[in-house]
Structure 1
Amino acid sequence: MSTPEHSPLGKSTIYADRYDPSLLFPIPRAGKRGEIGVAEPLPFHGVDIWNAYELSWLDLRGKPVVALAEFRVPAASPNIIESKSFKLYLNGFAQERIADATTLAATLTRDLSAAAGAVVDVKLRDANAAAYAVTDLDGHPLDGQDIAIDHYGPPQADFLHADVSANPIEETVVSHLLRSNCPVTGQPDWGSVQIAYRGAPIDYAGLLRYLVSFRDHNEFHEQCVERIFVDVMQRCAPQELSVHARYTRRGGLDINPFRSSMPATPANSRTVRQ
């Protein structure tokens, strides 16, 4: 009979509880962007919104303090930050004595900006406050379609098409069936995605089949959203396009990439799944 000690469960990971910015592990965006034909100047605007729910430190008298944090990493930054390294870095403040939240925010801004290669916006919020609204993603739901699906990877852009003979429309659609896998750990990443566009009507069945085709795909959250943006833009040619994914949290962090053909500042409202 298998027992936990002989399984992948419970393997030790060293969680430092002292400040160590070297724990942050940046990954250049350029490699994956090259795979989907994205080069400078970028064909989109955007931001990666991270929410942290497990942030704590000590005040100067040794009493623990907890807070919620929002981090906005610009899509134009040269690097993403690997999520486990981000978690380990944040955990490193657990036993550090810090004067106040303003001092901590300045440290976070400096370190994360250095890792990302661009200025990261940092906001800390009192954990006792109603910091984030919980809401549904607006848009027409795609998931109720009565269709057969048998392709789960790699992502299949051929599923996408728009009716160019129809009058252009402006609409927003939503699916909660997005799933991909972390390329580092192999763990599944579960998310909801909102696609807003103006242009020829996009076929719903093809779009849902396309989104489900990420199910066995190994790629970071940010890379999946950029792939979706590029594929929809190339196959359906909308005049305007925005893609916003809201992923469920892992290790106290959720990641919510947003890419748009127009300059925009997305809201940071949690879905029920988050």
Structure 2
Amino acid sequence: MLDPKLANAPLGHEVAYPDKYDAGLLFPIARAANRQTLPHMPGWSGADIWNAYEISWLNRKGKPLVAMARFVFPYTSPNLIESKSFKLYLNSFNDERFDSADQVLQIMQRDLSRAAGADIHAEFLPVDQPIHVAPLEGRNIDGADVEITTYKPAPELLRCADSLEVVTETLVSELLKSNCPVTGQPDWGSLQIRYTGPRIDREALLAYVVSLRRHDEFHEHCVEKIYCDIWQACRPASLCVYARYTRRGGLDINPWRSSESVSIADTRTLRQ
């Protein structure tokens, strides 16, 4: 059932593209409501990394300029930004004239920080330099020969291996899929799980990841759910969950949550 608060969001509705800059296009969504449904709220850190590939504006002579950008929203921000509203907002710059790229970036950082309720990081990326593309590091678990019968979230599938061995390892799956809670369209992602603790049963973990296949949830909320489900079921000493979702509307979203301070590389995967 669609959250009534999303009824006025542009996602899922036919919306005319803006012909002038408009910060009011941004549609914030409070994180608190979803977090109240999580089974356990551990202490964590993290961020949501957005990469934008379709940014343009006009210089004072009317000449179009283009850029790519990275926007990083802290996990502590009260709000996330609904993705279609973000796309419409960025496109509202297309036919406006500005003095410089710095001016455009400062405006974007100001508007997005206000909408998120916290300071965000924004930077333009050069469009004329090669981008490093690589799969997520870790052991891929997708080759496990498992029978799948559940396509709705099933945290009860998660379990530790019979061995009492404590390990430090990084596991990766390309089979993450959930659905947009507004449109029902599929969201495809690559998932990385780094942890120290009792060894997680890999077949059980894969079955759990696939169980999200028909789940309706935003990217950020899915990552937090995965984190909390693993934390509660397996009791690791440390845990980091990182997802890189494929691009939609010129934007990719890459949330991560970690129990410890970690360095996260914003590296595009082959699927992005």
Tell me whether the two structures share a fold, i.e. TM-score over 0.5: yes
CA-atom RMSD in angstroms: 1.3
TM-score normalised by L of structure 2: 0.93
Q: In the alignment, which residue of structure 2 is the partner of 1:273?
A: 271
Select between 11-20 and 114-123 the one with higher mean Cα deviation.
11-20
Q: Secondary structure at the match of 2:199?
A: coil
Pair 1:106 & 2:106 matched: yes
Distance 1:38 1:99, change over 3 A: farther
Q: Secondary structure at the match of 2:149?
A: coil
Residue pairs, 1:170-209, within 5 angstroms? 170-209=168-207
Q: Distance in 2 between matches of 1:193 and 1:28?
A: 24
Are the aligned partners of 1:180 and 1:217 in contact in 2 as well (CA < 8 Å)?
Answer: yes
Q: In the alignment, which residue of structure 2 is the partner of 1:13?
A: 15
Amino acid at match of 1:120: I
Amino acid at match of 1:244: Y
Are the aligned partners of 2:137 and 2:170 in contact in 1 as well (CA < 8 Å)?
Answer: yes
Distance 1:12 1:24, change over 3 A: closer
Q: Secondary structure at the match of 2:260?
A: coil
Are the aligned partners of 1:53 and 1:69 in contact in 2 as well (CA < 8 Å)?
Answer: yes
Q: 1:38, CA displacement in angstroms?
A: 5.3
Amino acid at match of 1:236: C
Q: Distance in 2 between matches of 1:255 and 1:87?
A: 12
Pair 1:144 & 2:146 matched: no
Q: 1:37, CA displacement in angstroms?
A: 4.1
Are the aligned partners of 2:39 and 2:229 in contact in 1 as well (CA < 8 Å)?
Answer: no
Q: 1:36, CA displacement in angstroms?
A: 0.5
Gaps of 5+ in 1: 1-10
Q: 1:165, CA displacement in angstroms?
A: 4.3
Q: 1:79, CA displacement in angstroms?
A: 0.4
Q: In the alignment, which residue of structure 2 is the partner of 1:55?
A: 55
Q: Distance in 1 between matches of 2:135 and 2:217?
A: 25
Q: Secondary structure at the match of 2:36?
A: helix
Q: In the alignment, which residue of structure 1 is the partner of 2:33?
A: 31
Q: 1:100, CA displacement in angstroms?
A: 1.2
Gaps of 5+ in 2: 1-12
Amino acid at match of 1:108: M
Counting matched residue pairs gives 260
Q: 1:237, CA displacement in angstroms?
A: 0.4
Q: Deviations over 1:189-224 (max 9, x none)?
A: 000000000010000011000000110000000000
Q: Distance in 1 between matches of 2:208 and 2:39?
A: 19
Q: 1:119, CA displacement in angstroms?
A: 0.5
Q: Distance in 1 between matches of 2:159 and 2:62?
A: 59
Are the aligned partners of 2:132 and 2:267 in contact in 1 as well (CA < 8 Å)?
Answer: yes
Q: In the alignment, which residue of structure 2 is the partner of 1:91?
A: 91
Q: Distance in 1 between matches of 2:77 and 2:257?
A: 13
Q: 1:184, CA displacement in angstroms?
A: 1.5
Amino acid at match of 1:160: L
Q: Distance in 1 between matches of 2:24 and 2:136?
A: 36
Q: Distance in 2 between matches of 1:51 and 1:17?
A: 23
Q: Distance in 2 between matches of 1:178 and 1:197?
A: 18
Distance 1:164 1:79, change over 3 A: farther
Q: Distance in 1 between matches of 2:243 and 2:227?
A: 11
Aligned counterpart in structure 1 of residue 249 of structure 2, from 238, 248, 251: 251
Q: 1:75, CA displacement in angstroms?
A: 0.5
Q: Distance in 1 between matches of 2:100 and 2:91?
A: 17
Amino acid at match of 2:207: R
Q: Secondary structure at the match of 1:186?
A: coil
Are the aligned partners of 1:67 and 1:124 in contact in 2 as well (CA < 8 Å)?
Answer: yes
Q: In the alignment, which residue of structure 2 is the partner of 1:134?
A: 133
Q: In the alignment, which residue of structure 2 is the partner of 1:5?
A: none
Q: 1:239, CA displacement in angstroms?
A: 0.2
TM-score normalised by L of structure 1: 0.92
Residue pairs, 1:219-238, within 5 angstroms? 219-238=217-236
Q: Secondary structure at the match of 1:35?
A: coil
Are the aligned partners of 1:50 and 1:71 in contact in 2 as well (CA < 8 Å)?
Answer: yes
